[in-house]
Chains A and B, each alone.
Chain A
């Protein structure tokens, strides 16, 4: 139940970037297969000027898109050449957020970037929405991270489904880390028991992971700020956390944490939903 297959999203509108190199390194370390994936949806005819004359995108246009995606694929396969037969390319004329989420069936971990090249849902993957749809842990690599070999991992703990998922999903990373710290996200004004944190420590010990528990310092303005402070103070290079949406009332506050971490984390974050 380690990671046997990884998947990395490749932007239609940008260079391959360091994310692909990081994915290839991880695939090597886990002896896993690596799948590169890109999605690009044809512009809706209702939005396009020429829709009045041509109700469907012209075949030649679709063919051009396919050709460009194939070229991306060639570049990707060349960039991860060291994996030899263990690399694969997939692309589809479809919305990237939805397309990559469905292709996630083929992998144990999905690697994406933290920012969108543009706000166009036809071409750019929306990280916040993707985290909730994938059904797999998602490793978000900030643009300025050049290499990734996590030695000091922090778990942002909160006794909810998403965080429980994240702990389980991150096991292959946790088992290879030098130190693992559990940081409880205490809500302001509440005095939560430390029991949950101890329980997670015991659970991880059963998987051979030693942990250090630490309560969150509540001095900061937001939970995300506190986590960013921990990342800096403790030299953390991977943060493991639940991914929260805004679909349920209780998730609202944490949905904000997820958004803040996506935008501001200087290190890679592993999100589970």
Chain B
């Protein structure tokens, strides 16, 4: 029950090529199938009376299919060293497409922000994919092209999303040399935190994973800022965290942490919801 299939969003820009390089390497390391995916759809334009949007976009649809075929050829050429490769290019809204196709993979790899699409296209929104995929989502910053994942920081908070993230990240954690847990806590006392962190560390131990360090992050700057500084100090190249949206009241505050990590992190982040 490691990762058997890994999906990567590939839209042929320079950062997509770096992301694909990282994905090919992970697929090789986990002996997993690699699925490339891209979607393209125009923003709805003004539709005259009596015409449906589909009719209006007939020629554009063919154009999009041609572009997607080109991107697919580029994907196959760049991923030729991967053992088991599959390409999915569809003229569909990219957020829905990637979220639904996540049923085919154990891990979904996306960028911080899609760079190829101009303003006429829907962009892939990492936040939406993270909330609706039902799979862990690895967000790769634009200039990152590899992930050793030998030193990993677990951003812990006693919530459903954190519990998900810990289990989702097990294949990475098992391969790592150093795993550190950092509790993000504002109100709780340190002794309460300690028992929760001990419990999580014990859970990991039952999966054969030793935790190198446990930390309680203060809130001098922002939570995301503290996490990123801790990860840098510990020379980690991956942060595992719950991914929060703004749909529920209680998520609002942590939604800010997710947004900050998405915007500011220079290292990969694995989010679960």
Residue among A4, A175, A196 making CB contact with B103, cutoff 8 Å:
A196
A203 touches B206 (CB 8 A): no
Complex CA–CA separation, A207 to B247 (angstroms) = 33
Q: Does B110 contact A (CB under 8 A)?
A: no
Complex CA–CA separation, A202 to B88 (angstroms) = 14
| Interface size class of chain B, counting residues whose CB lies under 8 Å from the partner chain | 35 or more
Q: What is the 8 Å Cβ interface bit string for chain B, positions 158-172, against chain A (1 contact, 0 not)?
A: 111111101100110
B168 nearest in chain A by CB position: A168
- Apart from A106-B200, A161-B131, A202-B104, what are 8 other A-B pairs with CB-CB below 8 Å? A2-B1, A105-B163, A105-B203, A108-B167, A134-B160, A206-B4, A206-B33, A248-B247
B162 contact set on A, CB distance < 8 A = 105, 135
A-B contact pairs, 8 of them (CB 8 A): A1-B2, A1-B171, A2-B1, A4-B206, A33-B206, A106-B200, A196-B103, A199-B104
A32 contact set on B, CB distance < 8 A = 206
Q: Does B260 contact A (CB under 8 A)?
A: no
Complex CA–CA separation, A124 to B105 (angstroms) = 38
B104 touches A107 (CB 8 A): no
Residues of chain A at the chain B interface (Cβ within 8 Å) = 1-2, 4-5, 32-33, 101-108, 133-136, 159-165, 167-168, 171-172, 175, 196, 199-200, 202-203, 206-207, 247-248, 273
Please judge, given known A-B contacts A159-B100, A164-B134, A165-B134, whether A135 and B160 are in contact too, CB under 8 Å. Answer: yes
Residue among A164, A203, A248 making CB contact with B133, cutoff 8 Å:
A164
Complex CA–CA separation, A196 to B164 (angstroms) = 24
Complex CA–CA separation, A206 to B99 (angstroms) = 19
Within the complex, what minimum Cβ distance (angstroms) separates A127 from chain B?
16
Complex CA–CA separation, A171 to B171 (angstroms) = 14
Residue among B105, B131, B207 making CB contact with A203, cutoff 8 Å:
B105
Residues of chain B at the chain A interface (Cβ within 8 Å) = 1-2, 4-5, 32-33, 99-106, 131-135, 158-164, 166-167, 170-171, 196, 199-200, 202-203, 206-207, 247-248, 273
B196 touches A159 (CB 8 A): no
Within the complex, what minimum Cβ distance (angstroms) separates B104 from chain A?
5
B160 touches A4 (CB 8 A): no
B167 touches A136 (CB 8 A): yes
A90 nearest in chain B by CB position: B199
A5 nearest in chain B by CB position: B206
Complex CA–CA separation, A103 to B196 (angstroms) = 9
A206 touches B2 (CB 8 A): no
Complex CA–CA separation, A273 to B159 (angstroms) = 13
Most buried by B among A1, A4, A135, A202: A135
Complex CA–CA separation, A135 to B99 (angstroms) = 19
Residue among A104, A162, A172 making CB contact with B1, cutoff 8 Å:
A172
B170 contact set on A, CB distance < 8 A = 1
B1 nearest in chain A by CB position: A1
Please judge, given known A-B contacts A1-B170, A101-B160, A247-B248, whether A203 and B103 are in contact too, CB under 8 Å. Answer: yes
Please judge, given known A-B contacts A1-B1, A2-B1, whether A161 and B132 are in contact too, CB under 8 Å. Answer: yes
B206 contact set on A, CB distance < 8 A = 4-5, 32-33
Most buried by A among B106, B133, B160, B273: B160
Complex CA–CA separation, A134 to B162 (angstroms) = 11
Complex CA–CA separation, A162 to B103 (angstroms) = 11
Complex CA–CA separation, A33 to B204 (angstroms) = 12
Within the complex, what minimum Cβ distance (angstroms) separates B195 from chain A?
11
Complex CA–CA separation, A105 to B206 (angstroms) = 12
B103 touches A200 (CB 8 A): yes
Please judge, given known A-B contacts A135-B159, A200-B103, whether A106 and B202 are in contact too, CB under 8 Å. Answer: yes
A134 contact set on B, CB distance < 8 A = 160, 163
A32 nearest in chain B by CB position: B206
